Copies of this chain bind each other. A is one copy, B any other.
Amino acid sequence: MDFRQLSETIARRSSVLCVGLDPDPERMPKGLAGHDLPLFEFCRQIVDATAPFAVAYKVNTAFFEAAGPEGWESLERLQAYIGKGYFRIADAKRGDIGNTGRLYAKAFFERMDFDAITVTPYMGLDTLEPFLAYEGKCVYVLCLTSNPGAEFLQLTCSKKGRFLFEQVAESVAVHVQSSRLGLVAGATQAEHLPLLLKAAPNSHFLVPGVGTQGASLEQTLSHFANHKNRVLINSSRDILYASQGPDFAERAAERAQVLHSVMTSWLKGDTNQTAQDFPEQL
């Protein structure tokens, strides 16, 4: 699936929900510990439960690396399990040059079959090339992140009076491969989102930070009124750990359904609908 197909899928399923798969062994239900590949098993059940509501899954590679070779096997199996009907993002925040970049691309786009990867831009735009060498694959460039430390570089003001994140966004927007490049924009950066959207008015966006990290879904969506088919709102912990008991998958589905309902209303233009309209499901 590429960005064009993602847009079609968003319209067809009336959802911009990206479920973030960050399987934390300390927060997973105890009953899964006996499985051969507990990280895979947990995520598999989350995927099954949320599939009716999601259009994308974002797999956070750190959680798999921390489990060693078994974790990496879970990652590979999970990518294959999700399947081609969903936009599959490797949230790996890689970024390196030459041979090293080519091997990262090989890992995520050839050995595995992710549709997109997140990349950090500090080393420069040549770090995008190894990923873009794979036809049809997409790259989300970290631009304005949701953490407090984001200001250290991203909000540095350049000589030309622009923030560094604007420079990143503009470079992605005018890139010769811009149709396969998106931007990561933290929902907690509401103050700066208008500037960012102005710098890259036609780009795709991946938006973490809603829910546990503090931003409200409704306010976040309101920024993307002109990007309805080009935005993914990520939710990880709110869905994954809605319950830590044996009903975790059922509760995850309920949470995903609530988010999906708000998104559907927003996509159809009914901006008065909020998550509070579904209290029985919260």
User: Knowing A22-B99, A154-B122 touch, does A104 contact B147 (C-beta < 8 A)?
Assistant: no
Q: Is A211 an interface residue (CB 8 A)?
A: no
Shortest distance in angstroms between A34's beta carbon and chain B's nearest beta carbon?
Answer: 20
Q: Which of B63, B94, B106, B150 contacts A103 (CB 8 A)?
A: B63
List, in ascending order, chain B residues with CB within 8 A of A120's CB: 93, 95, 120, 122-123
A97 at the interface (CB under 8 A from B): yes
- A150 and B124 contact, Cβ closer than 8 Å, known pairs A62-B107, A96-B62, A159-B158: yes
A65 at the interface (CB under 8 A from B): yes
A111 to B126, CA, bound (A): 32
CA distance A73 to B150 in the complex (A): 34
Task: Please pick, from B100, B107, B150, the residue contacting A123 in the complex, using a CB distance under 8 A.
Answer: B150
For A124, what are the chain B residues with a Cβ–Cβ distance below 8 Å? 145, 147-154
A72-B69, A76-B68 given as contacts; is B24 within 8 A of A99 (CB)?
yes
| A66 adjacent to B122 (CB under 8 Å) | no
Question: A72, A76, A111 — which one has the most chain B CB atoms within 10 A of its CB?
Answer: A72
Whole-angstrom distance between the alpha carbons of A127 and B146 in the complex?
12
Complex Cα gap A111–B24 (Å): 15
**Closest Cβ–Cβ distance, residue A256 to chain B (whole Å):** 20
Task: Find residues 39-72 in chain A having any chain B CB closer than 8 Å to their own CB.
Answer: 60, 62-63, 65-72
CB–CB B149/A123 < 8 A: yes
User: Do B62 and A69 touch across chains, with their CB atoms under 8 A apart?
Assistant: no
A152 x B164 contact (CB < 8 A): no
Instruction: Collect the chain B residues with CB atoms within 8 Å of residue A177's CB.
Output: none
Q: Let me know if A98 is at the binding interface, CB within 8 A.
A: yes
Is there an interface contact between A97 and B158, defined as CB atoms closer than 8 Å? no
Taking the closest CB of chain B, its distance from the CB of A169, in whole angstroms, is: 13
* Residue interface mask A16-27, B partner, CB < 8 A = 1: 000000101000
Inter-chain pairs besides A62-B100, A124-B147, 5 sampled, C-beta below 8 Å = A22-B100, A68-B76, A123-B147, A156-B167, A159-B159
Cβ contacts A to B, 21 pairs, < 8 Å:
A24-B103, A62-B101, A65-B103, A65-B107, A68-B73, A69-B70, A93-B94, A95-B120, A121-B122, A122-B145, A123-B147, A124-B148, A124-B152, A124-B154, A126-B148, A127-B149, A152-B171, A153-B168, A157-B158, A158-B159, A159-B159
